[in-house]
Structure 1
Amino acid sequence: MTSPVLSSLPQSSPCALELHDVTRVHGKDARRVTALSHANLTLRPGEFVAIMGPSGSGKSTLLNLAGGLDVPTQGHVLVEGRDLATLSVAERAAIRRKSIGYVFQDFNLLPSLSAAENVSFPLELDGWNPRKAREAAMQSLNEVGVADMADRRPEDMSGGQAQRVAIARALVGPHRLLLADEPTGALDSNAGMTILEVLRTRADRGAAVLLVTHEPRFAAWADRTVFLKDGRIIDETGSSNMDDLLNLEERGA
C-alpha cells in the first residue's frame, strides 16, 4: 500500500537544490586542498541526477554541501530556496530531518537501536507519534526488502542488510530531496537494481534525487549524469545514452 506521504510530495520551491559557483577548500597554506571548485548545479523536483567521477574528484564533498553537513568556502547552496550558509547548525539539522534523506557511505546507523528504531528515530525527533513513526519505518524497510530485519541491531546484520536499512531511513517520511552516496556499494547486483528502482520511483513521484555512483549501469537510471574531475564539473550527459556514459568513463571522467 502506498503512503499518502510518498504518493504526493508538496513542493515549496521550483528548485529542490541549487549550487551557485560553489567552492570548498580544506586546510591552509601548504596543506590547502580544493575539494570542489566553482560548481554550478540545479536539481528540480522529480529529477534524478547521477554524479560520476574518479576517487577524490569531489563527489562526496558535493553531497555533503548539498545536505548541509558542510558549508562552502565560496558560493551558495540553496535547498528549496534557502541558503544553507545563512542558517544555524540547528536550522540546517531541521531541514535535513524534514526535507532531506541522506544515504551515507558508512551507513551511520545507531548501534544501540534496532533497524526499525533507526529508521523511525528521525521522525520521532521531528514530533511524529511513535506508533505512526513505526508504521512508516516498517513500510520503508519493506520497500527496500529488509522488513524481516526490523528488530535486529546493526551488529546482527550483514553489510548489505545494514546498507538497505540506511537507505530505508533516508526514504522514510516526506523527504523532497534524496542524496545517496554510493548506496549500492555493499549490495549484490540484484539488490542494487532494486534500490535503483526505488530511487527512480521516488523521483517519478516528485522527489529530487542526487546519486553518487561509479557504475554507468546505475547512472543510466538517472535523467542526466554530471561528471566531476579534480573538483570540477567537466561534462554532463543525458543518461538515456549509455554509450556516452561508457565512453566518458573510459576517458577517465
Structure 2
Amino acid sequence: MSPAILRLSKVAKSYGSGATSVKALHDVTMEIGAGEFVAVMGPSGSGKSSLLSLAGGLDTASKGKIFVEGTSLNGLHINELARLRRRAVGYVFQDFNLIPTLTAVENVALPRELDGISPRTARKLAMDALGRIGIASLATRFMDELSGGQQQRVAIARAIVGQRRLILADEPTGALDSATGDEILGVLRQCADEGSAVMLVTHEARHASWADRVIFLRDGLIVDEASQAHDPAVLFSQAQH
C-alpha cells in the first residue's frame, strides 16, 4: 500500500457547547495514500465539509489526531501550520476564496511566493497550472472580468500549482457545465496518478466514479466504503437509509 499522505485517527468535531453543541464528526478514522483519489459522499449535514476542513488544517479537531505526510497537525504553532498548508496542501473551496485585486496568474502564484519561491518561478508554475486547466489565455484578467465558471477554474489551478501532496476539493465542479466539469475531474485524476493524494467532496455519484475509493458519511460517521468495483450511486442510496 502507498504511504499515507493523510491519516485521521478517531477524529471528532463539535461546534458550540452545552445544550447548543452540534457534533459534526464522530470518531472518524481513515487514510489516503500517495496516488489515491478518494471521494467523500453523504447527505447534506453529514459532515463532509467539516472533514475536509479538518484534513487540511483549516479547523481543529475536538479530539483525535490528524497527520499530513507524517506530521501531526495537533498542537502545531499557527505559523508552522500555515507553512505546511502552503507547502503540501491545495484547496478548492466552494466560494473560491480568490483575491479580486489580483489577476488570475497572480492568484495562482501567490501561495508559492508566500512559501519563498521567486516571483518568476512562481509565475511559471502558475502559468503551467492555468494551462492544465485550460485557461492560460485568461492569466492577466482580474476576477470581475471572469465568469463564475472561469473563477472556479482559477481556484482549481491554485490548488494544483506546484507539487501539492494533498489536494482537497469541495464540490469543485459546481459552477461548471458537465463537459468542463469532467475535464477538471480528469485533472484531479491525473494529479493522483502522478502521486498526490486527492480528496473530493461531492454529492454526484458520476463525479465519484473518477475516484479509486468512495467513503460515505451520515450524521458524522463513516457508514460505508467501497472501491470502484462497486457502483457509487447504489451505495450512496443505501448509505442514506
- Shorter-chain TM-score: which interval? over 0.9
Query: Which amino acid counterpart does residue 96 of structure 2 have in structure 1?
Result: F
Whether 1:251 aligns to 2:238 is: yes
Q: Which residue of 2 aligns with 1:145?
A: 134
Q: Which residue of 2 aligns with 1:239?
A: 228
- Gapped regions of structure 2 (runs ≥ 5): none
Whether 1:126 aligns to 2:115 is: yes
Q: CA deviation at 1:39?
A: 0.4
Q: Which residue of 2 aligns with 1:58?
A: 47
Alignment: residue pair count: 239
* Aligned residue runs from structure 1 range 202-241, under 5 A: 202-241=191-230
Identity rate of aligned residues, in percent? 54
Query: For the residues of structure 2 that align with 1:95 and 1:251, how far apart are their CA atoms?
Result: 37
Query: Which amino acid counterpart does residue 248 of structure 1 have in structure 2?
Result: L
CA contact (8 A) 1:19 1:40 kept: yes
Q: Which residue of 2 aligns with 1:4?
A: none
Q: CA deviation at 1:70?
A: 0.7
Whether 1:113 aligns to 2:102 is: yes
CA contact (8 A) 1:141 1:150 kept: yes
TM-score (normalised: structure 1): 0.92
Query: For the residues of structure 1 that align with 2:41 and 2:19, how far apart are their CA atoms?
Result: 28
Paired residue for 2:64, among 60, 67, 75? Answer: 75
Q: Which residue of 2 aligns with 1:156?
A: 145
Query: Which amino acid counterpart does residue 104 of structure 2 have in structure 1?
Result: A
Say which is worse superposed, 233-242 or 171-180, in terms of deviation: 233-242
Query: Which amino acid counterpart does residue 164 of structure 1 have in structure 2?
Result: R
Q: CA deviation at 1:248?
A: 2.3
Q: CA deviation at 1:252?
A: 5.3
Query: For the residues of structure 1 that align with 2:21 and 2:121, how far apart are their CA atoms?
Result: 47
TM-score (normalised: structure 2): 0.97
CA contact (8 A) 1:220 1:240 kept: no
Q: CA deviation at 1:123?
A: 0.7
Q: CA RMSD in A?
A: 1.1
Q: CA deviation at 1:15?
A: 1.2
Give SS of 1:70's match.
coil
CA contact (8 A) 1:26 1:34 kept: yes
Q: CA deviation at 1:30?
A: 1.6
